[in-house]
Amino acid sequence: MGKLMLLILVMYILVFGLISLNLFIEFKLSNYRHASKQTFLQIFFNKGSWGEYKIYTILEGIKGEKQLLTNLYLPKKDGSTTEIDLVMITKAGFFVIESKNYGGWIFGNEASRYWTQSFPNKKKGKFLNPIWQNKGHIKALQEILCITDESLIHSIIVFSNKCELKKITVKSSNVKVIKRNRLKHTLKKRFVDTNPKLSSEEIKRYAQALKHFVHADEETKLLHNERIKEKLSR
């Protein structure tokens, strides 16, 4: 019995090692490590970062001219900052993406302040409406880049494949709430259905302007997280 358990343990370690090696190779091939300046171990053991990384790899695989940026800390008029998970700039405009690497069943309405996460064991939790969150991100983005044309902005809320979007009510045409496995299809459809709105030069210029807000220092991140905690405690 002891030998059998040892064999099972060895097999488990081998399988885990092979899976980890494959994930590490994928990570090294992606530009995410340069864009985020995070190591494999940093994202592997952080659920939020892992979700953003998986989204980034999908965006990388979409053909066409584009600029990708991740983890932007944009200043707001009140002196605080807002963090955008990912931005993809294409000829169709700006795709501002909010990543939610959640499990369970998700219920939400665009008009409600809070959404609900529910599990089969009947445990429930509430979280801030991600559409509202992304709206704040988009407002800061528009102010910094002096963008007034709303048709240039696409708000995309991306949930993990582990969850089930049970009842999501969205009325705004420029907002999509999807699971990660629908992201590529959703964005490709937007490219096809949307006439070009930005030139190659504009894409590069906007991306260059936003690069000043990536790779924030630890003090900026700490202050941002403290502001978030304050809001949640009200």
Domains of the chain with CATH codes: 48-233 (3.40.1350)
Q: Do 10 and 3 contact (CB within 8 A), yes or no?
A: no
pLDDT computed for residue 189 by the predictor = 76
Q: What is the C-alpha to C-alpha distance for residues 97 and 100, in angstroms, rounded to an integer?
A: 10
Q: Which helix (H) or strand (E) holds 101?
A: none
For 126, residues 6+ apart whose C-beta sits below 8 A from its C-beta are 114, 115, 116, 117
Separation CA 59–CA 82 (nearest Å):
22
How high is the pLDDT of residue 138? 96
- Provide the residue-wise pLDDT of the chain in tens; the chain has 234 residues: 577 777 777 787 887 778 888 888 898 989 999 999 999 999 988 988 999 999 999 999 998 899 999 999 998 888 888 999 999 999 999 999 999 999 999 999 999 999 999 998 889 999 999 999 999 999 999 999 999 999 999 999 999 999 999 999 999 999 999 999 999 999 987 765 667 899 999 999 999 999 999 976 665 655 655 565 555 455
Q: What is the pTM of this model?
A: 0.86
> How much is the pLDDT for 222?
59
